[in-house]
Chain A
């Protein structure tokens, strides 16, 4: 079956439908989680560790408990006494308690929670708690952690979620909680030109503007949560496990999110809220302040030591990468990130000889977890800087060099999985054309030096995963779609409606998506990793197709014709034989003999993989599909101040097929703007484990003044054979190559190669000075 065959008859896919809830978003009338009605709740404040690594000798809660308005003070030890080891949660490793039990592992870790009438009373009481510590040696960076100067965890505790981590259970005396290895050919092979370097990407934070929020309450024998989460299905399982409840006694609801970018998934505030509500048999609300949100999760700081070698023909003959992910005090999903990024650590290039070692490493810092790009931008920083330098060493145009070496359709990636629907060349050509790559450049202008740079990026989609959709067609011809995908600004409510509408020939506004509610909406692995359009989109497409078949059957009965004679159109079902037409409304009314009735169809879409070989990382199918993107930039460097100014940034992503080009362009642009921050100034700064810039007065985010003079998002479409109408996701595609594209342009402008992010004015100016002195 070709993609065209499966295209719906409708006119929804490819249309620039307005974003669902657009007006409500603009007017501030959209209800986010904290605006949703919940029972009257007690407020929760936590007392936090003032040590990076210490044993908790005792916790004195007396003064806090004595304060007016305080209902309860709960410590990690209290919860451990009630819940035992079930207190420990986490997607890859069950290593994180919501309140520290026997020791603290980072500055700011919650130790005790105050439940009180009003947040002011709760906070005041939390300040009264005192903790007696015995300090332990702290591990502040990956090198110290690998050396094992101290161990953050006594033993490794893989969770039940990922079977392939089982062998790590109980392993002691290490801070490395996971190691991914990839081996192909003879990685020590060298061509005539070899480059090698050390790269560093610092930890950063997502900073969605909506703060994390969870309300939890007990309703009879059930617990209910309203939470800012991208992963309601995961949270339900996690809370059910923690409280030893059957899944039908846990209800998790989400609402549209005010941004997330990976910050609001897996276990964040939910375990604490649920544990408190359940043990107190009441209703509690946990709200993180901005300063607290910085402690909940971060993006991994990553060190990469890497090399790349080319032969005399300019073909890449070998590439190696030693990647160290700093995952902080708790593994979260770090081991998965380590593997998924390790797979692409040498880039989307045709290379026969590859070695990658990618390690996930505990340190005494706040836990690092998923962040738009899932660890791939940090390795792309390495391979796209290296490949650029390799081209320059050879005296070749960096775009042309990439062009020759980039993987084509059907060629094997480093993992041995073939490429499909990953048009690197199309993306590269589109962005270089946009910035007039080959046109002459005025390289010097007063204090300014001008240059151009380019980079590409590759990422594998999360595999295997499960998506479900339930489609309810109402008698009047409108539809209600039940999925657990969470709209967090990426526009999934709009995209999923368009997919269903395309199949059923419905118009804009006729398909309504229900917000995730585990009592109502079916299981979905996660809303993350740019997976929803493809996976949930396929479940929606399948459900809609089943619904269409159902309508066709009803119409066939009604008209007394065979099903093959019928076609669903915008006017309804049309019989070729009888030339009769019946609208959906009439058809359903006729079938049930009642108004307001519903037809229901459901579908599941599950992907599978072949697990990668433990020693070589090879697999014929390591992923369901690939993401391909590119960025090209023209910029100036002020030689007096070191400041980089972007004149033109062009980004492109192969999205298979753009379901809604407007929303796709916004994702391409939005990820690029976030990437500008990572390239130039966005980073979390630590001193001995303490975040020193953990407020928005100090933490740097791109504002409207950091926009490039020109930003061009470009959609590239090479349809995926099993994507819904050929589509794939897009949320991360352009953040991946962004930082190296900018650094490569700085290199082009100044001749200086900077390998540590971000490229702050100071770092650039210092590098320029050192280069001029050398």
Chain B
């Protein structure tokens, strides 16, 4: 399954690029990324949690940066396995940032992902998985833009203050779990709703 798009963030390319490599920024941007830490220069590890329809997916993963073209492009391969669900995931992701021509001080982020899901979760229905992926994409764009806009990586970035890992998605019957939209709004605006 291929996903990809581009979006504009209100921050310069160098700051955006710094966020790409910062585990704290990425953890806060990737929906369902419950843990993320850097092991060494090119390796990260963490945990992805997600709910697709009635199914909960929780996968420990390892991520390797396979290509780094500072300060514009990073390619990473993420591999994770949910033993309980008998499923694994592989994401080959390319993130690139370029100065945006339309507005000063902003950048355009291009991303493309090749997502493979294997095992029980991979056969539960392509449309369901695709739809969930679309949601994850949209959330990522919103969250990452917000974080880039709020400042450089690090504990002082207001968008990163108080971020706690939370599983993405919703369960059925719906509603008993705070919707991702609400959680997103809470995260962005400090629980104003």
Binding site for B on A (CB under 8 A): 47-52, 107-108, 127, 130, 135, 291, 685, 687-695, 697-698
State in angstroms the CA–CA spacing of A698 and B87 once bound together. Answer: 20
State in angstroms the CA–CA spacing of A130 and B82 once bound together. Answer: 10
Binding site for A on B (CB under 8 A): 1, 79, 81, 83-84, 86-88, 90, 114, 116-119, 122-123, 125-126
Instruction: Give every chain A residue within 8 A of B123 (Cβ-Cβ).
Output: 291, 690-692, 694-695
**Contact assessment for B118 and A688 in the assembled complex, using a CB-CB cutoff below 8 Å:** yes
- Knowing A687-B116, A692-B126 are in contact, say whether A130-B83 is a contact too (CB < 8 A): yes
Instruction: Give every chain A residue within 8 A of B116 (Cβ-Cβ).
Output: 687-690
- Within the complex, what minimum Cβ distance (angstroms) separates B117 from chain A? 6
Which listed residue, B81, B86, B114, B117, touches A690 by the CB 8 Å rule? B117
**Contact assessment for A689 and B118 in the assembled complex, using a CB-CB cutoff below 8 Å:** yes
Which listed residue, A51, A127, A695, touches B88 by the CB 8 Å rule? A51
**Contact assessment for B88 and A50 in the assembled complex, using a CB-CB cutoff below 8 Å:** yes
Instruction: Give every chain A residue within 8 A of B117 (Cβ-Cβ).
Output: 687, 690
23 CB < 8 A contacts A-B: A48-B86, A49-B118, A50-B86, A50-B88, A50-B118, A50-B119, A51-B118, A52-B118, A107-B119, A127-B86, A685-B126, A687-B116, A687-B117, A688-B1, A690-B118, A690-B122, A692-B122, A692-B123, A692-B126, A693-B126, A694-B123, A697-B125, A698-B125
- In the complex, given contacts A52-B118, A689-B116, A690-B118, what are 15 additional A-B residue pairs having Cβ atoms less than 8 angstroms apart? A49-B118, A50-B86, A50-B118, A50-B119, A107-B122, A108-B119, A127-B86, A135-B90, A291-B123, A685-B126, A688-B118, A689-B118, A690-B116, A691-B123, A697-B125
Instruction: Name which residue of chain A comes closest to B77, CB basis.
Output: A135
Instruction: Name which residue of chain A comes closest to B88, CB basis.
Output: A50
Instruction: Give every chain B residue within 8 A of A49 (Cβ-Cβ).
Output: 118
State in angstroms the CA–CA spacing of A693 and B117 once bound together. Answer: 13
Instruction: Give every chain A residue within 8 A of B79 (Cβ-Cβ).
Output: 135
Instruction: Give every chain A residue within 8 A of B90 (Cβ-Cβ).
Output: 135, 688
State in angstroms the CA–CA spacing of A697 and B116 once bound together. Answer: 21
State in angstroms the CA–CA spacing of A677 and B165 once bound together. Answer: 48
State in angstroms the CA–CA spacing of A49 and B83 once bound together. Answer: 11
Instruction: Give every chain B residue within 8 A of A688 (Cβ-Cβ).
Output: 1, 90, 114, 116, 118
- Within the complex, what minimum Cβ distance (angstroms) separates A294 from chain B? 9
State in angstroms the CA–CA spacing of A52 and B116 once bound together. Answer: 10
State in angstroms the CA–CA spacing of A48 and B79 once bound together. Answer: 18
**Contact assessment for A687 and B1 in the assembled complex, using a CB-CB cutoff below 8 Å:** yes
Closest 7 A-B residue pairs measured CB to CB? Answer: A688-B116, A690-B122, A50-B119, A50-B88, A692-B126, A107-B118, A50-B118
Instruction: Give every chain A residue within 8 A of B83 (Cβ-Cβ).
Output: 130
State in angstroms the CA–CA spacing of A291 and B116 once bound together. Answer: 19
**Contact assessment for B119 and A48 in the assembled complex, using a CB-CB cutoff below 8 Å:** yes
- Within the complex, what minimum Cβ distance (angstroms) separates B35 from chain A? 19
State in angstroms the CA–CA spacing of A698 and B125 once bound together. Answer: 8
Which listed residue, B86, B88, B119, B122, touches A687 by the CB 8 Å rule? B122
- Knowing A687-B1, A692-B126, A698-B125 are in contact, say whether A127-B84 is a contact too (CB < 8 A): yes
State in angstroms the CA–CA spacing of A207 and B122 once bound together. Answer: 20
- The prevalent SS among residues of B at the interface is strand
**Contact assessment for B81 and A50 in the assembled complex, using a CB-CB cutoff below 8 Å:** yes
Instruction: Give every chain A residue within 8 A of B1 (Cβ-Cβ).
Output: 687-688
State in angstroms the CA–CA spacing of A51 and B119 once bound together. Answer: 8
- Within the complex, what minimum Cβ distance (angstroms) separates A561 from chain B? 73
State in angstroms the CA–CA spacing of A48 and B121 once bound together. Answer: 13
Instruction: Give every chain B residue within 8 A of A291 (Cβ-Cβ).
Output: 123
Output the residue of B81, B90, B116 with the most chain A CB within 10 A.
Answer: B116
Instruction: Give every chain B residue within 8 A of A108 (Cβ-Cβ).
Output: 119
Output the residue of A130, A690, A694, A697 with the most chain B CB within 10 A.
Answer: A690
Instruction: Give every chain B residue within 8 A of A693 (Cβ-Cβ).
Output: 126
- Within the complex, what minimum Cβ distance (angstroms) separates B138 from chain A? 21
Instruction: Name which residue of chain A comes closest to B81, CB basis.
Output: A50
State in angstroms the CA–CA spacing of A692 and B125 once bound together. Answer: 6
- Within the complex, what minimum Cβ distance (angstroms) separates B73 from chain A? 22
Which listed residue, A50, A689, A694, touches B87 by the CB 8 Å rule? A50
Output the residue of A50, A685, A692 with the most chain B CB within 10 A.
Answer: A50
State in angstroms the CA–CA spacing of A50 and B59 once bound together. Answer: 13
Output the residue of B84, B86, B114 with the most chain A CB within 10 A.
Answer: B86
State in angstroms the CA–CA spacing of A697 and B79 once bound together. Answer: 29
Output the residue of B79, B87, B88, B125 with the most chain A CB within 10 A.
Answer: B88
State in angstroms the CA–CA spacing of A691 and B125 once bound together. Answer: 10
Instruction: Give every chain A residue within 8 A of B81 (Cβ-Cβ).
Output: 50
- Within the complex, what minimum Cβ distance (angstroms) separates A762 from chain B? 14
Instruction: Give every chain B residue within 8 A of A690 (Cβ-Cβ).
Output: 116-119, 122-123
- Within the complex, what minimum Cβ distance (angstroms) separates A60 from chain B? 9
State in angstroms the CA–CA spacing of A52 and B88 once bound together. Answer: 11
- Within the complex, what minimum Cβ distance (angstroms) separates A280 from chain B? 24
Instruction: Give every chain B residue within 8 A of A691 (Cβ-Cβ).
Output: 123
- Within the complex, what minimum Cβ distance (angstroms) separates B140 from chain A? 21
State in angstroms the CA–CA spacing of A688 and B83 once bound together. Answer: 20
- Within the complex, what minimum Cβ distance (angstroms) separates A114 from chain B? 13
- Within the complex, what minimum Cβ distance (angstroms) separates A527 from chain B? 31
Instruction: Give every chain B residue within 8 A of A47 (Cβ-Cβ).
Output: 86
Instruction: Give every chain A residue within 8 A of B86 (Cβ-Cβ).
Output: 47-48, 50, 127
- Within the complex, what minimum Cβ distance (angstroms) separates B59 from chain A? 10
State in angstroms the CA–CA spacing of A620 and B81 once bound together. Answer: 56
Instruction: Name which residue of chain B comes closest to A691, CB basis.
Output: B123
Instruction: Name which residue of chain B comes closest to A697, CB basis.
Output: B125
State in angstroms the CA–CA spacing of A291 and B117 once bound together. Answer: 16
Instruction: Give every chain B residue within 8 A of A689 (Cβ-Cβ).
Output: 116, 118
State in angstroms the CA–CA spacing of A685 and B125 once bound together. Answer: 11
- Within the complex, what minimum Cβ distance (angstroms) separates B189 from chain A? 37
- Within the complex, what minimum Cβ distance (angstroms) separates A296 from chain B? 15
Instruction: Give every chain B residue within 8 A of A50 (Cβ-Cβ).
Output: 81, 86-88, 118-119
Output the residue of B88, B116, B118 with the most chain A CB within 10 A.
Answer: B118
- Within the complex, what minimum Cβ distance (angstroms) separates A145 from chain B? 18
State in angstroms the CA–CA spacing of A693 and B128 once bound together. Answer: 12
Instruction: Give every chain B residue within 8 A of A685 (Cβ-Cβ).
Output: 126
Instruction: Name which residue of chain B comes closest to A692, CB basis.
Output: B126
